[in-house]
Amino acid sequence: MNKKGNPLQLMLIALTVMLSMALSASAQLVNGQLWPDTDGHHINAHGGCVIKHGDTWYWYGEQRPERGFTMDAGISVYSSADLRVWKNEGVALSVSPEPGSDIERGCIMERPKVLWNKRTQRFVMLFHLELKGRGYEAARVAFAESESPTGPFRFVRSQRLHAGQWPFDMSEQDIAAAKQTQPEAWKEWWTPEWRREVEKGMYLWRDLSTGQMSRDMTVFVDDDGRAYHITSSQENLTLLVSELSDDYLSLTAKYNMVAPGGQNEAPCLLKHDGTYWLICSGCTGWAPNEARMFRAKSIWGPWQQLPSPFTGTATGYRNMPADKTFGAQGTFIFNDGQRLLFMADVWNPRHLSQSLHFWLPIAFSPDGTPVIGWADTPWQ
Ligand code: GAL
């Protein structure tokens, strides 16, 4: 036999090498580059979350169109055995073709988060919903459920929050003060007087009868299985933390406000050594801004604000600075079994489907404060 091998053998060897190089390149998941799925397409799951069920990881996110901002398809789901190689499992929750449906094609679905409910043995999805043709004014949370992690999820309901309910930690006196605010009277925002009124609950009062607004959101499951919904409310000025019912399919009446008037979006929550840490973005639409961090001993606060956990520059990604969150906006924090990873989107508003993904490992300083530096790969 020819020592050099015949041309067919050589071609096969070359092909195998090329294929394994391509696979290992995709298995690298380099922060700041496109992340191909097993079909070679950039992973179209934005504003999403990753959960583990059995031995499999599932990544849910907004399936964004190539152009425009509204939904053609719905919420996508990908699966992986190792968090590196992702298979597109299709659409987990589809938009509806039915005119007038809350999730009619052309609506906006954002920031989907999926929870496994042990009690009901179901997957529950919560997401931010905007109704078709109404921009961002509906400001609702929506619920969907499924027996299978890859769906199809059934749409359950969309709603505003806590109509007729005051936060559980507001005293009679606080409520009386909120009721004296005059939301319509403030033509000029951002004055010290206006801010004081917001802190008293002016927008809570404005929306009390119709229910509170809910836009950017996340969910968090505590060690005891109790789950919480954390959302940007009151014209994106104030965060609300709400307890979820046992089946995760509704909110209980228990909720409170975090950082009234602080304009926090993209909330992500982690718990480390008994302390809760909330990492948010500011409110500049698709443009990156400096992250904010809050710390509390209880999910119900009081929350203390600290500087952004981001540090250094993204040397692998256009030298984006920490005070711009390396060009990204957070979406979720999950534990990969060894470390906590901060998931973020680098939005590309001209082609939202092409928005990049960053996953950065979270380190902790000796006093337990989260620190997030740049890493070329999530596992660096
Ligand atoms: C961002 C928000 C995104 C999306 C976008 C629309 O602030 O975090 O989820 O809603 O605004 O402009």
Low-confidence ranges of the chain (pLDDT < 70): 1-27
Residue with tokens 């380190």: 363
Spatial distance between the Cα atoms of 221 and 51, rounded to a whole number of angstroms: 12
The closest residue, in CA terms, to atom 5 on ligand 1 is 285
Q: What is the DSSP letter of 21?
A: H
CA atoms within 13 A on the CB side of 131: 14
C-beta atoms surrounding 222 within 10 Å = 13
Distance 124 CA to ligand 1 centre (A): 23
CA dihedral sign, ordered 256, 328, 149, 99: positive
**Which atom belonging to ligand 1 lies closest to the Cα atom of 236?**
7
| Torsion (CA) 126, 128, 130, 135 in degrees, nearest 10 | -170
Atom of ligand 1 nearest to the CA of 111: 9
The residue whose CA has the least distance to atom 7 of ligand 1 is: 285
Query: Do the Cβ atoms of 144 and 152 come closer than 8 Å?
Result: no
Concatenate the DSSP letters of all residues of 289-341 into one string: ---EEEEESSTT---EEE--SEESEETTTTTEEGGGGGG-EEEEEEE-SSSEE
Residues with beta carbon inside 6 Å of ligand 1?
A: 47, 110-111, 216, 265-266, 285-286, 329
Q: How far, in Å, CA of 318 to CA of 316, rounded?
A: 6
Predicted confidence at residue 7, as pLDDT, reads 67
**HSE (CB half, 13 Å, CA atoms) of 2?**
7
pLDDT digits (tens, 9 = 90+) for 97-151: 999 999 999 999 999 999 999 999 999 999 999 999 999 999 999 999 999 999 9
Q: Atom 12, ligand 1: which residue's CA is nearest?
A: 285
Taking the centre of ligand 1 as the mean of its atom positions, its distance from the CA of residue 285, in whole angstroms, is 5
The pLDDT score that the predictor gives to residue 316 is 78
Ligand 1 centre to CA of 296 (Å) is 26
How many Å lie between the centroid of ligand 1 and the Cα of residue 323? 18
Output the pLDDT for position 317: 83
Q: Looking at ligand 1, which residue's alpha carbon is closest to its atom 8?
A: 266
Whether 160 and 212 have beta carbons less than 8 Å apart is answered as yes
Q: Which long-range contacts (CB under 8 A, 24 or more apart) does 189-196 make?
A: 195/261
pTM of the model: 0.92
Mutational pocket test of ligand 1: of 69, 284, 286, 348, the residue with most ligand atoms within 8 Å of the beta carbon: 286
Nearest protein Cα to ligand 1, atom 6:
285
